Each structure stands twice: as structure tokens, then as C-alpha cells.
Amino acid sequence: MPRSISKSRGQNERKKNASESLLFLSNILNEDNLTHPILSDSAARSILRLSKRHGVRANNKIYQKICRKCHVSLVPGKSSRIRISNGFILNTCITCHRIYRFRLDKNR
């Protein structure tokens, strides 16, 4: 019985550390890293890796800034193209030409 308690404590600690790391990496991704695109691309790959390995998800706004196909950060004008068409925001990755569609909220 004590073994399962210590295992759950370790798992909680691991998830807590992973969520702190996700918060730090999402702050890096939110900054204007136009001078260091390699840093923001590395943060994007690390966010995807952490969320997959530890089962901790970041905010949906963070996932909208990462290309799920080529794992780069989507910076409008540099690595992505944004268009508005038929009530959708079309976010196109310039690297792999993957198109992401997000419904345009009428309250914005």
C-alpha cells in the first residue's frame, strides 16, 4: 500500500513540473521572437513533446500558434499567412502549406 501512495506523489510532482515547464515555454512562444525564430520553433516542439509525454495540455490559443505537421511556431507574416474567408480564419503554414481553419467568432 505505501508503494502506491509514493507512486501517486511522484506522478503528481511530475505533472506539476510539466505544467510549470509548459507555462514557461508558452511564455517564450507568446513573445515576439522575430529575431530568434529558432528559439520559438524549439519551444513549439518542446510543448508538443511535453504534452504528449506527460499528459498535460496547454491552452488552445497556444496550439493555434504551432503547426502540427512540421512542428514550427506560426508567426503571422514570417512563418504563416492569415486570411479571413467565409466566417473562418485560415492560418496557412508557409513551411509545409498546411491550412488550419478556425471559426471566426462574431463577438470579436
pTM of the model: 0.81
Residue 61 lies in domain? 2-103
Domain assignment present for 86: yes
Domain assignment present for 19: yes
Domain assignment present for 108: no
- Total structural domains in the chain? 1
Q: What is the pLDDT of residue 1?
A: 47
Domain assignment present for 60: yes
What is the number of other CB atoms lying within 10 angstroms of the CB of residue 21? 15
Please classify residue 65 by burial: count the beta carbons closer than 10 Å to its beta carbon, then call 0-12 exposed, 13-18 middle and 19+ buried: buried
- Report yes or no: 39 and 25 within 8 Å, Cβ to Cβ: no
How many angstroms separate the CA atoms of 25 and 62, rounded? 10
Could you give the strand order of the β-sheet that contains 88-93, starting from the edge strand earlier in sequence?
A: 80-85, 88-93, 99-103
pLDDT by residue (tens digit) across 2-50? 555 566 778 889 999 999 999 999 999 988 767 788 999 999 999 999 9
Domain assignment present for 57: yes
